[in-house]
Chains A and B, each alone.
Chain A
Amino acid sequence: MLDIIKIRSKFPILSRKVNGQDLVYFDNGATTQKPQVVIDAEANYYANENSNVHRGVHFLSGLATDKFEETRNTIQKFIGAKHKHEIIFTKGTTDAINLVANGFRTLLNKGDEVIISEMEHHSNIVPWQMCCEQSGATLKVIPLLNNGSLDMIAFENFLTENTKLVSVSHISNTLGTINPIKEIIEKAQAVGAKVMIDGAQAAAHISLNMQSLGADYYCFSAHKLYGPTGVGILYGKEDVLNELPPYQGGGEMIKEVSFKKTTYACLPHKFEAGTPNIAGVVAFKSAIDFINELGLSNIAKYEEELLQYATEEVLKIEGLKIYGTAKNKSGIISFNINELHPYDIGVIVDKLGIAIRTGHHCTQPIMERFNIPGTARISLAVYNTKEEIDICINAIIKAKQMLS
């Protein structure tokens, strides 16, 4: 059993007021709050350890490099990767997807096919549109069923020897659907395609093991795992990453540079051009340590309990409809009430100190699919409580009264 009061006390922001009210933070799908250990680690890095990594012979450069690489080790263990050099530091999930999609521009030809899904975040749509435009490949989109899960029959029908890459999210940021990624990976790889999983909404909520999962690429952002902004992880299988052309050129990513021919560094440095967000990477380790101390299975169990409670309670509001009712769901509830615009609900509950997200959540195709302008979204994290859910629901009821 997790001690939620103790967990909450580690997050300084959770005790602040918003519009004169106690903050209730339900926008964890956008970003999570940071525990003091993460804030301290970032400050301590600049106060005591700052230097550039992988470059100098002096003491601080060595210290910074050790700290930086320690995070890589921690991530390797956290996601069960086979090799340390399969972990690439990026700016975030979007950056990681762009890195892969950019590489595929030269790997794909006319007639090749890339499969994504209708539930993807724009950052797992647009890079592939750009990639297909440049390479002449065709983009195919797995449709959604009414409950917000993927149409797996359509997916299987898409798979042919022309399929070169499948990129889908592990968990939908709008609908909360947990996709059957193991099945997707196996079926896609059976026709020789590579598979990329956008794990932005999953890594803080589901225990991961890359070796048993078998994904070719998997990516996520530190800031959705109680870590700093501006840091992301791209995992790739060693041989798959070796085949992928480098993304950005610059320092650190080269073996030898001459005007005749430049050769590239080995993994992971081939994909880490330029000075990275060292402080963020160092502090990210503290976030992973924080998660590991609680235990991801305990977090998942608690969040499941919250999700169930919140779902039951919001459904008591007359006229409320939840979008995303798949059997296998993560702690995300997207909803609308009658004809009310989600924006109107959002601005009123904000005045009551409650942070929920409203809008299209960077998933306009989902909005089109359900023919709605947007939704209001509650997304949960380990520090949320049932009391907060009650406060939020009362605020939503208040908003509904004011607007009706």
Chain B
Amino acid sequence: METIKEIQEEIIEDFEIFDDWMQKYEFLIDLGKELPQIEEQYKIEDNLIKGCQSRVWLHAEEKNGSIVYSADSDAIMTKGIIAILLRVLSNQKSEDIINADLSFIDEIGLKEQLSATRANGLVSMIKKIKLFALALGKR
């Protein structure tokens, strides 16, 4: 299994080939369309991360010692961002998720592409992902 660090490095490489923002956005949109859908039964209030602009549902379960996430959003760009986060953090061990240093977000220019309000949404998503890992890891 690839480590969080290894996957982050792959994503940084993926993003290096893009010359401009439009290609980056198109890549995010494609990832968003491919994001594995959360099952309808998990699209509940408890799993909702409320931002000012778009809604995000996040579900997590433990499988063979790893935490597996699924998610959805009503906005495609947001889905693309979640897809990247989940590529890094899903199917990992709880303590690795909690301790993950997500420096790749800055390196691929995701945070700077996103204004402060949107970057806050990103922070809430990461927080929710880590909280799930914490809760499920304790069991």
- DSSP class of A's interface residues: helix, strand, loop or mixed? helix
CB contacts under 8 Å to A, within B44-63, are 52-55
CB contacts under 8 Å to B, within A369-385, are 373-374
Give every chain B residue within 8 A of A1 (Cβ-Cβ).
none
Give every chain B residue within 8 A of A346 (Cβ-Cβ).
53
Bound complex: CA of A402 vs CA of B32, how far in Å?
12
The 8 Å CB contact of A402, one of B29, B53, B115, B118, is: B29
The 8 Å CB contact of B74, one of A347, A373, A403, is: A373
Q: How far is the CB of B81 from chain A (nearest CB, A)?
A: 11
Q: A343-B78, A344-B77, A403-B76 are in contact. Are A373 and B54 (CB under 8 A)?
A: yes
**A341: Cβ under 8 A from any B Cβ:** yes
Bound complex: CA of A373 vs CA of B51, how far in Å?
12
Bound complex: CA of A373 vs CA of B21, how far in Å?
26
CB contacts under 8 Å to B, within A299-352, are 340-341, 343-344, 346-348, 350-351
Give every chain B residue within 8 A of A350 (Cβ-Cβ).
115
A347 lies within 8 A of B77 (CB): yes
Chain B's closest residue to A360 (CB) is B52
CB contacts under 8 Å to A, within B20-44, are 21-22, 25-26, 29
Bound complex: CA of A19 vs CA of B112, how far in Å?
11
**B75: Cβ under 8 A from any A Cβ:** yes
Interface centre among A346, A347, A350, A402 (most CB of B within 10 A): A347
Q: How far is the CB of B92 from chain A (nearest CB, A)?
A: 29
The 8 Å CB contact of B77, one of A343, A359, A374, is: A343
Bound complex: CA of A351 vs CA of B77, how far in Å?
13
A341 lies within 8 A of B52 (CB): no
Chain B's closest residue to A19 (CB) is B21
A341 lies within 8 A of B25 (CB): no
B21 lies within 8 A of A351 (CB): yes
A358 lies within 8 A of B25 (CB): no
B53 lies within 8 A of A343 (CB): yes
Bound complex: CA of A42 vs CA of B77, how far in Å?
40
Q: How far is the CB of B62 from chain A (nearest CB, A)?
A: 31
Give every chain A residue within 8 A of B118 (Cβ-Cβ).
347
Chain A's closest residue to B77 (CB) is A344
Interface string of B112-139 (1 = CB under 8 A from A): 0011001000000000000000000000
Bound complex: CA of A19 vs CA of B75, how far in Å?
22
Q: How far is the CB of A375 from chain B (nearest CB, A)?
A: 12
Give every chain B residue within 8 A of A347 (Cβ-Cβ).
25, 77, 114, 118
Chain B's closest residue to A373 (CB) is B74
Give every chain A residue within 8 A of B114 (Cβ-Cβ).
347
Q: Which 4 residue pairs spanning A and B have beta carbons closest together?
A: A341-B75, A343-B75, A343-B53, A343-B54
| 12 contacts across the A-B interface (CB closer than 8 A) | A343-B54, A343-B75, A343-B78, A344-B29, A344-B76, A347-B77, A348-B25, A359-B52, A373-B54, A373-B55, A374-B53, A402-B22
Interface residues, chain A, with chain B CB atoms under 8 Å away: 19, 340-341, 343-344, 346-348, 350-351, 358-359, 373-374, 402-403
